[in-house]
Structure 1
Amino acid sequence: MPSLRPLLLAVLALAPLPALAESPLKVVTTFTVIADMARNVAGEGVEVVSVTKPGAEIHGYEPTPRDIVGASDADLVLRNGLGLERWFEQFLANLGDVPSATLSDGVEPISITGGDYDGRPNPHAWMSVDNALIYVDNIARALSGIDPENAATYAANAAAYKDRLRAALDPLKAQITALPQDRRWLVTCEGAFSYLARDLGLKELYLWPINADQQGTPRQVRAVIDGVRAHAIPAVFCESTVPSDPAEQVARETGAAFGGVLYVDSLSTPDGPVPTYLDLLRVTTETIVRGLTAGN
């Protein structure tokens, strides 16, 4: 019997090669909050990865070689801007020619008052739902720029997500409106909640404006102690990514309660209290209300 090998080789040579599976788009974000926003806009067909992990402090983060390698195949990089990620420019330069977008473009920033950061924009703009809507539009625009064939999908996802964000705001405002006027104060470690305080009608005190090398100095703590006493503020809070010791000191010396942990710069792990941005807004606001109404 003649060998089948030459015939088999001939058939294989004529057969079309199987199509290689096309890799999904990969979007890299600087922190977990905007990663969640991007997933809602991008949908399931896009891989979204955050450089910083749940619980990380963003301002002074130092990207590792692993971070750079993990982002080296990105199709798009998303950052907050407004001076939040001091490490971003060098990080992006290490990636080479990768498109990037700044999600705070179009936001009207609140200026920081006092200290070394006086006059600079407060970078935590996503803590206002109105600003978050701008972030979502910027994400959809950036995705459409690198993947115009799916622009309609990104636009539809963005519209649906914006509707969910708008619907979340009114119940949060209602919780604050129910508080007596003299209790509508928000005292925190970092001044990261200015946008949320403005939207919810809260007056604000904080120990330091931006997470920096020195936090909770005697002068900072004394100024907030004086403010808490002067206004009989019932509770103080601290965000999840820094030690709460200075806020707890304020509570001890004024008789105010330590109202608990607020979330701003980072989501939790999926099984934690704030796995999504909407959860972050809800849990943070409910913690504020619970702290300010305790003992009534």
Structure 2
Amino acid sequence: MQLKASYGGVYDGDEGVLTIGHNAGFFSNCTVALWNLAEVRRAAGVWPRKLSFANAFSSYRDAAQVEGKDDLYPLYFEAGDEAAFRRLPGSLAKVNHHGFYRLIDHSGLKAVMDAYFQPSEKALAIQRQLVSKYGIDLQRTIAVIYRGTDKVIEVDIASPRAYLAVAERLLSQHPGYRVWIQTDEASVRDLFLAHFGDKCFALDEMPVSGGSVAVHDMADDALRMSRADFGVLLVAVTNLLSQTALLVNHTGNLGLWACLWRGHSKGLVQFDRSGRVVEFASPGFWFAQAVHLLTRVRRKLGVAASGQNPGQGRS
């Protein structure tokens, strides 16, 4: 028995294997994997016994892995034990990567993360190296995730100084903390480091772009590592970001996965898809949401009229 899932996913019921077929940004692929898991559960009434990335993550493969169609899942993730699979929920709602992360229902998602998406041992080893090298005290760290470059195609991005202002406010409330700036733009990284001085750090290991080109679209030599190793580094770093005391987050797939691994919304500040800080108690926030929604509807109608495909997302 075979079931087709969205974005090229295929579930082999005889083998119990769900093969993901999406190829975009790293965490865009991961989000589609979550969607495919939910689809199989609804259609077949079972949870797949195994995930395969043999047909996915094309931007995170070395030449030999492209030719051999290697299953990259074990490189990035580790499945949970039998007890983890027994805790899986009866169903799973579709996660909105552009939604409000405070509204995520972590009760069922935590079990799915435990069963399918624990960082691999290679990723955990990288985490240990980074914590030691940079002296990271996760319980005294304000992580700031600023996703720029091509992300403007999907969402309205707040200015780097808006993120900096939030980090400055949080640091004034927690003077013993440090700011960890994680961004794909060199100029944003340099802005934070110059402003906060020794109260801020960035990871030298994480590549940055000097323009509008997404990091995973950069030339191989610009990454300074193999494409497969870059994927492992993304898992290690994003999972580590999820564990910080305070998290200033963007809206996008990487930001979503930091929240999924975090497992709660405590200490979370999110810039939403309109580029505003999520403030549910503010009437101005909801007015801005209505304006933004109307603008996006108009854009989508324009895209539909032109015959273009807006796509699922980058990362």
TM-score range (shorter-chain normalised) is: 0.3 to 0.5
Give me the TM-score of the superposition, normalised by structure 2. Answer: 0.32
